[in-house]
Structure 1
Amino acid sequence: MAFSRRARWTAAVLSRFHHPAQVVVTSFGLLVLAGTFLLMQPISTVGPAATTVEALFTATSAVTVTGLAIVDTQSHWSVFGEVVIAGLVQVGGLGIMTFATLFAVIVGRRVGLRFRLLAQAETSMLSVADVRSIARRVVVFSLSCEAVFAAVLAGRWMIGYGEPFGQATYYGVFHSIMAFNHAGFALWPDSLTRFVADPWISLTASAAVIVGGLGFPVVFELMRTWRRPGTWSIMTRLTVWISLALLAIGTLFLLVAEWNNPKTFGPLDDGGKLLAAFFASTMTRSAGLNSVDIGQMETSSLLVSDVLMFIGGASASTAGGIRVTTFGVLAFVIWAELRGEPRVNIGHRRVADSVQRQAIAISLLSVAVVVVATYVLLVISPFALDQVLFEVISAFTTTGLSTGITAQFSPAGQIVLTLLMFMGRTGTLTLGTALAMQERTRRYELPEERVLVG
């Protein structure tokens, strides 16, 4: 009876929303508020209780799996506070609707169509046929990967750096969660810069970021068909090949720009420079950990990082940005237009007009948000354009990298970054759909007229 009453209450609440996206945005908002409340408690900090802005900013950064921070994670937050942050990152990374679907499986209840639609809206699944099974596999796969990466990191800190078993395990679990879910929180004030030349730490964290950034649909398809690339779907092909290309291009460009920089790659040997460049390129794919001081990078490196952060990772992954599939679709749209083709084709498949419009809308809305936020922060802060633009893109794409000025913004500037992180996680289109109270379908077509462009 109690479960039946809860189910009826849940159904009544859900019926008040006109679109699943509204529930997604509302759920993330409620989780941010819950995290803010927990972080404001005295038990969450080492010294005085966190201010409202500190707690709100940190909770939003954790839920949106960003990792930007205005206070030092280790010295400001207690172990309880760090556990709260890691928990918020974990829930935010997997998605509230994925957890809701999993809980329905655990209690043995049938998942209704509305819940399936909600899970689809959160995880960007291409089908609602078996969201319940997908949600279970997502959680199992994620936790399994995090456990493996945590074991490697913990072993390295215990054997290579003499950390006690308990401390090494804590470090391993915390940073495994951060890397896999693409959050930039670290338990050292300089992130992972002290391990810049350590391949065990750098490559393990990079592997966690790459796997987490592929997206669950792509990962599941690769697990089935990795030996048969010819059978991959267009989404998987775009994700894999564009991700590899961007990773290689980013590594090359950063290596060239920072090779002789005495404050970043300069003191390292050739192997260390390559490792640092690879790590930095990987982290721009919406991760947020860093092994060199971002604030000391060349302006050209910041520009390359801006572009890579803006593109981000794969759809239905823990990464942010406009996503590599969006970038790929836009590239093929341009290619088709240059060749004068009436349709956009990728391989032996035609891209739907609605997908093209969605890719254009996501990109233009994202550019608009970045431009407006950059202008606002330039007006209210004393920092240079390259620094502010980097912070804005990092926040909006939920990357978490920083040139070191995040904590120096005024409370108003930090609120702007908070809004950017929330918008970046929920998505511009999702947020826009949630704000629209109802969808309208035009039942007629207007006469066509050509408009000169360019």
Structure 2
Amino acid sequence: MRKLLRSIVASPPRILVLGFAAIIFLGAGLLMLPFSHLQGAAPRFIDALFTATSATCVTGLVVVDTGTYWTTAGQIIILAMIQIGGLGFMTMSTLFAIMLKRRISLKERLVLQEALNQSSVEGIIRLVRKVVVYSLTIELTGAILFAIRFMFDMPVGEAIYKGVFHAVSFFNNAGFDIMGDYRSLVDYVGDPLVNVVTMLLIILGGLGFVVLADLVEIRNPKRKLSLHSKVVLSMSGFLIVAGAAVILLFEFTNARTMGPLGFGEKIFAAFMQSVSPRTAGVNSVDVGALRQATQFIIVILMFIGASPGSTGGGIKTTTFTALVGAVSAMIRGKEDVVLFRYRLAQERVYKALTVTLFAFGLVILVTMILSTTEDHGFLMILFEVTSAFGTVGLSMGLTAQLTVAGKIIIILMMFIGRLGPLTLTYALGPKQGRALYRNAEGKIIIG
């Protein structure tokens, strides 16, 4: 029995899968308790499980309104799951081990390496310290700014509580809000402070902790941005600006979304709707009222997602950049993919292609399955599935109407999206040995 258990949790990917699953079921159990929900409104287990998965996988899809259905205790449980899910349970456990001055074993370092998507264990404990310090500093700053703004609209205690909740939720790209009636930030669509702070929290959470560390240490004249940071920053900036421009173009005259807004409010709304699909799930206009072209653009942004080692999901900006680089190299007749004068190893391009095709196939398959279980339009279902896979949390209104089968499928998609399809494949699949030979080269006609 002991050997069996040891073999089940032998690899870092399996530890991550089991760890996240344990947190989800524990959170669901806590949400079922009487103090977590309003009297007379006990949730079904599937709804508690859905909420716990969405919080732990920092998604933001909800089957009940977070601000009105759950009590303060229930909301704090959700917030704790968001924080653990965003930073990673191994990061949190390592933090406690450091505080207790306990030695971190090699196996724990290997799990951290997998969780933080690093290429080696060198400097992994220093990175964990940075992750915690950066996260708490950014969340505290966001909470203070939110609380100051909310004090103009509500009592001081409520403003501080909502400031903390939304700062943690938005930095971890979770998208949960407690504004009530599924409103998210619709009431603050033109508010400069709320919009800027929200977007900065989402962007900083989605860049990845390695990039944040690079940016903090760039003040040192001897330090230069790594290739990874350059790729993440350039592609993230391009997607935000290009996405905002396209959304503004399509929605400028839409009477149900941006049409009635002033020009400045339209700019804020366009950028918010461009930043949010990068796995945050915050909206300042009604997503269901957007034009179909805009909704499809958001599907693409959600599929790409955030960056490696961040609190977000999706195939990641670096994966998308590698694919674009490969296409560009092929068109120009070049053999190598070159980014910022650095050549990418062929295995990196293969991995980018594998992740993208795996994710694309998974999204299409689940969309087709949900199209048979849910009586809704194809685009609405595709939007929901992509949002779950990218751990985004945006919805066109389908989440609350899902059947039990639909909820189970979306739960699995959120779980896969948070861990990453390759991590789950490595965890569940047998360990492959190194090939002892290479096959003879063959040729096929492409294109």
Whether TM exceeds 0.5 here: the answer is yes
Contact preservation (8 Å) 1:102, 1:132:
no
2:70 counterpart of 1:77: yes
Counterparts of 1:12-411 in structure 2, within 5 Å, are 16-47=8-39, 48-158=41-151, 160-161=152-153, 163-187=154-178, 188-189=180-181, 190-225=183-218, 231-411=224-404
- Structure 2 match to 1:441: 434
- Structure 1 match to 2:409: 416
Q: CA deviation at 1:132?
A: 1.5
Q: For 2:342 and 2:23, how far apart are their aligned partners in 1?
A: 40
Q: For 1:82 and 1:314, how far apart are their aligned partners in 2?
A: 28
Contact preservation (8 Å) 2:217, 2:223:
no
Q: For 1:348 and 1:297, how far apart are their aligned partners in 2?
A: 40
Distance 1:199 1:326, change over 3 A: same
Q: CA deviation at 1:14?
A: 5.9
CA deviation vs aligned residue, 1:38-76 (integer Å, no higher than 9, x gap): 111111101332111110000000000000001111221
Unpaired segments of 5 or more residues in structure 1? 1-8
Q: For 2:245 and 2:223, how far apart are their aligned partners in 1?
A: 28
Q: For 1:266 and 1:324, how far apart are their aligned partners in 2?
A: 31
Q: For 1:14 and 1:228, how far apart are their aligned partners in 2?
A: 48
Q: CA deviation at 1:101?
A: 1.8
The worse-fitting range, judged by mean Cα deviation, of 86-95 and 192-201 is 192-201
Contact preservation (8 Å) 1:18, 1:437:
no
- Residue identity (%): 38
Q: CA deviation at 1:12?
A: 10
The worse-fitting range, judged by mean Cα deviation, of 166-175 and 434-443 is 434-443
CA deviation vs aligned residue, 1:142-192 (integer Å, no higher than 9, x gap): 01100000000000010x32x222110000000001110001111122111
Q: SS in structure 1 opposite 2:14?
A: helix
Q: CA deviation at 1:16?
A: 4.7
Q: SS in structure 1 opposite 2:253?
A: coil
Q: SS in structure 1 opposite 2:236?
A: helix
Q: For 2:244 and 2:84, how far apart are their aligned partners in 1?
A: 31
The two structures have a TM-score, normalised by structure 1, of 0.95
Q: SS in structure 1 opposite 2:213?
A: helix
Q: Say how many residue pairs are matched.
A: 443
RMSD: 1.7
Q: For 1:43 and 1:200, how far apart are their aligned partners in 2?
A: 34
Q: For 1:447 and 1:409, how far apart are their aligned partners in 2?
A: 51
The worse-fitting range, judged by mean Cα deviation, of 194-203 and 321-330 is 194-203
The worse-fitting range, judged by mean Cα deviation, of 20-29 and 433-442 is 433-442
CA deviation vs aligned residue, 1:394-453 (integer Å, no higher than 9, x gap): 011000001111111111111111111000001000000000132321111111111222
Unpaired segments of 5 or more residues in structure 2? none
CA deviation vs aligned residue, 1:222-277 (integer Å, no higher than 9, x gap): 11126879932221111001100000011111111111111111111000111111
